[in-house]
Amino acid sequence: MTAASRTPRTSRPGTTGKTLRTRGGLSLRVDPRAAVVVLLLLAVAVAAAVALIGTGDFPMAPADVLRTLTGGGTPAQEFIVRDLRLPRVLVGLLVGASLGLAGAVFQSVSRNPLGSPDVIGFGQGSAAGALVVIVLFHGDPFAVAAGAVAGGVVTGLAVYLLAWRKGIHGYRLVLVGIGAAAVLTGVRDYLMTKADLVDATRSMVWMVGSLDGRDWSQVWPLLCVAAVLFPVLLGHGRALRMLEMGDNAAYALGVRAERTRLVAMGAAVLLTAAATAAAGPVTFVALAAPQIARRLTRASGPNLPASACTGAVLLVGADWGSQRLFGADQLPVGALTGMLGGCYLLWLLFTERKAGRI
């Protein structure tokens, strides 16, 4: 029996799927609408990236940006694009995709639209780890990044253990995570009161979340992490979809529920920590990207590829909007996403309450 024949049809009415089969007997069901949405989101992400590269004190037309990227620009254009702006855009794309993918995993595991890394404490854990390095050890940027990753991993492990009770229940995970976020916010505020002026200023700049000044030293580590963890999570997409029907149904379909949850959550925590280490605690993206992707694809399940692409579009689009509206480097992208995220969270709570789910 092939994977496709074992998979129940859980898509919403009106959606159709096409089964692709290989000579080796493997099969894969593809939702045409979801595939088209992913391709369109990729095109929008590329267009937004080109527009962002051309935005700044030295504006460039999209044609000049593309010509420079293909090696046909002037020496000045080569320096501006390849050394100054391209790394920033790549960090934005990778951070947005990582947060969107991690948010989709946590919302799928918890079966709760509020199950986002920046709501259930993982982003705050990374921020607290980074502040410990800044305030107590006066670490350099590489040490701060390592502290952010360590803080995110430790927080993820603590939340998992505290939420464990013969398995992980979605609402218990969210409640424990919200409590952890509150504790870590208090730790962060306490560290700020103990910091001297220089470290406090440095901490505040980092905590806002920004793509300003990002270079290739942030691109390569994040790219390596994404290259390893993206396939791991995408490979667990079917299993996560089965888990949304309940552990008993997942077990009956051959899915090892707890192992799948542990692997998926571990990879999502690492992605969140790496993204936070590269750009600071950028909010809203992990919360909104999976919800927007679900509405665009109109498909059930975690929608992992669409969520990753939506996250990339949201973050790069927000960075472009902040530069166009407020000038280059005047408003950090994390401040803009935070404001938008607050409005989105209020709307989400209102719609969930109206639907009787909270």
Phi and psi at residue 73, in whole multiples of 5°?
A: -90, 170
* pLDDT > 90? residue 339: no
- The residues spanned by each domain of the chain are 33-323+335-355
- The predicted pLDDT at position 357 comes to 65
Q: Which of 101-115, 125-139, 339-353 has the lowest mean pLDDT?
A: 339-353
Of residues 103 and 342, more confidence is placed in: 103
Q: Kindly report, residue by residue over 179-226, the tens digit of the pLDDT.
A: 999 999 999 989 998 888 888 888 888 888 889 889 999 999 999 999
- The predicted pLDDT at position 10 comes to 39
* pLDDT > 70? residue 7: no
Structure tokens at 83: 């050394």
* pLDDT > 70? residue 235: yes
User: Nearest to residue 301, comparing CAs of 354, 341, 250, 232?
Assistant: 250
- The predicted pLDDT at position 14 comes to 40
Q: Kindly report, residue by residue over 275-293, the tens digit of the pLDDT.
A: 999 999 898 899 999 999 9
What is the dihedral sign for C-alpha 130, 134, 137, 141?
A: positive
> What mean pLDDT comes out for the span 290-317?
92
* pLDDT > 70? residue 21: no
CA–CA distance, 242 with 189 (Å, rounded to integer): 41
CA–CA distance, 36 with 19 (Å, rounded to integer): 16
Measured over all CA atoms, what is the biggest interatomic distance in the chain, rounded to whole angstroms?
A: 65
Q: Which of 106-115, 116-125, 321-330 has the lowest mean pLDDT?
A: 321-330
> Strand, coil or helix: what is 244?
coil
Q: How many CA atoms lie within 13 A of 113 on its CB side?
A: 22
CA–CA distance, 212 with 329 (Å, rounded to integer): 6
Q: Which of 99-108, 136-145, 209-218, 345-354 has the lowest mean pLDDT?
A: 345-354
Of residues 326 and 87, more confidence is placed in: 87
Under CATH, which architecture does the 33-323+335-355 domain have?
Answer: Orthogonal Bundle (1.10)
243 touches 263 (CB < 8 A) = no
Mean pLDDT of all residues in the chain? 86
> What mean pLDDT comes out for the span 6-14?
38
78 touches 53 (CB < 8 A) = no
- The predicted pLDDT at position 47 comes to 95
> Strand, coil or helix: what is 50?
helix
> What mean pLDDT comes out for the span 320-327?
82
Name the pLDDT band for 19 (thresholds 50, 70, 90): low
* pLDDT > 80? residue 258: yes
Residue whose tokens read 């391209």: 86
